[in-house]
Amino acid sequence: MDGGSFLSPREYARELVDDMNMGGMVRMGYDAATIGEYDLRSGAAYLLARAAETGLPLVSANVRDAATGSLLAAPFVVVERGGVRFAITGVLAEDVEIRLTRGVETSGATVDGATQALAALVPEMRKKADFVVVLAHLGLDRSKELVQAVPGIDYLIVGNQSNFAASMFDVGTTAFLQPGYKGQYASVARLSFGADGAFQGAEGQTVPMDDKTPADASMALLVKEHKAAVERLGREKAAEQVQAEAKRRIEQGEACIGVQGSCRRCHQTQYDQWATTAHARAYETLETANQSTNPACLKCHTTCMLSLKQDGSEPVPEVLRGVQCEACHGNGTKHARDGSYGQVAVATCLSCHDKANSPDFDYAAYLAKVTH
């Protein structure tokens, strides 16, 4: 099951990426996914088209088609495991802010109150299943308020919550699982039943989806092929825009000079040292991983690309690939000899070496690797 916001915010290669995300969930056996605000950024019609293309089962108790007033997805589904029936539904916060993708005029959806929608639906779900499961794209605090207002929810999956809970925990009579976001963790619940079929209890944990998690060979191949396809599309798009983009940057005064054309002429010793560091090879690591058009990666593996548009359409001129001098010291066009140029502080490094990307970052230790 997924708690929502599984579609990509990227604008280019959107269908390719989204079909991979949703199709991948289908291949992994997902029984249901609910609708989050990211899933409506490109409009309700787009979401439904992707669901139809991939076969991902969508559930929502309170997201409606703005034109017809009908629910966008099935109000709930019932799945059976080992003779036990689970009714699964989902809700989205009614006051959610949907930031539309560029060029999309409306989400095409309205959102009812989550509490009212579930209060009406849960009794019907209980008639058809042994346990009621809610995928709550509400965050933790509002999910707690929800179960206090609506009785009869056995399990709640907390969506739209960045941090995770290591173990399942109870809020009243409802068991909560909180897996965090971005697919970095998965929450697992195990239910126990006696020989007579009577429910005895449940326990649940959240496990990291890291390198210790065994990879499925078929899924690993699918991901590899997908990354290569996105990379090819990105390269094609970037090639078309290199000249126009270079002109725009020059006109707006954003252009960096590049280490080869400027810094090296006066700082050969420093250049030679820099060329031995991981900074110099930062862009190459993206090419190896088929991520050289991914904006989330490019901003920290290139130079003067920190304001990169988040749609994958920004080309990276060869002269600005890698973490060059200007990435740390500032644009060479602003070079001064009064001591004001080129100062490096902890904040300079933290723009990229944050907790998510460099959890073991230590300023002194890392600086020693690049000091020249």
CA angle centred on 310, ends 102 and 292, rounded to 5°: 135
Q: Confirm if 30 and 61 have CB atoms less than 8 A apart.
A: no
Residue 326 lies in a domain: yes
Residue 255 lies in a domain: yes
The residue out of 208, 240, 261 marking a domain boundary is 208
Tens digit of each residue's pLDDT (9 = 90 or more) over 149-202: 999 999 999 999 999 999 999 999 999 999 998 888 999 999 998 888 888 899
The residue out of 165, 182, 208 marking a domain boundary is 208
Question: Structural domain of residue 55, as residue ranges?
Answer: 14-208
Residue 244 lies in a domain: yes
Do 123 and 222 belong to one domain? no
Q: Confirm if 80 and 126 have CB atoms less than 8 A apart.
A: no
Handedness of CA 118, 186, 174, 88 (dihedral sign): positive
Place 110 in a pLDDT band, splitting at 50, 70 and 90. Answer: very high
Q: Confirm if 150 and 118 have CB atoms less than 8 A apart.
A: yes
Q: Confirm if 55 and 21 have CB atoms less than 8 A apart.
A: no
Average pLDDT over residues 100-105: 89
Residue 2 lies in a domain: no
Higher pLDDT, residue 84 or 257: 84
Average pLDDT over residues 287-307: 80
Do 87 and 221 belong to one domain? no
Do 199 and 92 belong to one domain? yes
Do 34 and 158 belong to one domain? yes
Place 295 in a pLDDT band, splitting at 50, 70 and 90. Answer: confident
- Give me Rg for the CA atoms of the chain: 25
Do 255 and 183 belong to one domain? no
Tens digit of each residue's pLDDT (9 = 90 or more) over 331-356: 777 777 777 777 888 888 998 999 88
Q: Which range, of 70-84, 213-227, 245-259, 349-363, averages the lowest pLDDT?
A: 245-259
DSSP string, 29-72: T---EE--GGGGTT-HHHHHHHHHHHTPPEE-SSEEETTT-SBS
Q: Across 69-78, 95-104, 285-294, which has the greatest mean pLDDT?
A: 69-78
The residue out of 182, 208, 234 marking a domain boundary is 208
Q: What is the pLDDT of residue 371?
A: 84
Do 230 and 186 belong to one domain? no
Where does 112-216 have alpha helices with state H? 114-128, 140-149
Share of the chain above pLDDT 90, in %: 53
Residue 223 lies in a domain: yes
Do 264 and 202 belong to one domain? no
Do 104 and 172 belong to one domain? yes
Percent of the chain that is helix, strand, coil (3-state, to 5): 40, 20, 45
Is 60 exceeded by the pLDDT of residue 251?
A: no
CA dist 321 and 227 (Å) reads 20
Q: Across 19-33, 245-259, 261-275, which has the greatest mean pLDDT?
A: 19-33
Residue among 249, 255, 250, 279 at smallest CA distance from 332: 255
Do 203 and 90 belong to one domain? yes
CA dist 100 and 141 (Å) reads 26
Q: Confirm if 305 and 314 have CB atoms less than 8 A apart.
A: yes
Residue found under tokens 């954003």: 254
Place 312 in a pLDDT band, splitting at 50, 70 and 90. Answer: low
CA dist 111 and 94 (Å) reads 5
Do 62 and 203 belong to one domain? yes
Residue 6 lies in a domain: no
Burial class (CB in 10 A: 0-12, 13-18, 19+), 79: middle
Tens digit of each residue's pLDDT (9 = 90 or more) over 315-333: 677 778 899 888 888 877 7
Do 265 and 135 belong to one domain? no
Residue 193 lies in a domain: yes
Is 60 exceeded by the pLDDT of residue 26?
A: yes
Token output for 52: 């139809």
CATH number where 26 lies: 3.60.21.10
Residue among 119, 163, 118 at smallest CA distance from 139: 163
Total number of domains in the chain? 2
Strands 63-65 and 109-111, sheet pairing: antiparallel
Q: Confirm if 41 and 7 have CB atoms less than 8 A apart.
A: yes
Residue found under tokens 């003779």: 83
DSSP code, position 101 = P
In the chain, how long is the greatest CA-to-CA distance? Answer: 84
Residue among 242, 311, 315, 312 at smallest CA distance from 103: 311
Share of the chain above pLDDT 70, in %: 91
Residue 3 lies in a domain: no
pTM above 0.75, yes or no: no
Do 254 and 172 belong to one domain? no
Tens digit of each residue's pLDDT (9 = 90 or more) over 50-77: 999 999 999 999 999 999 999 999 999 9
Average pLDDT over residues 96-117: 93
Residue among 215, 303, 186 at smallest CA distance from 254: 303
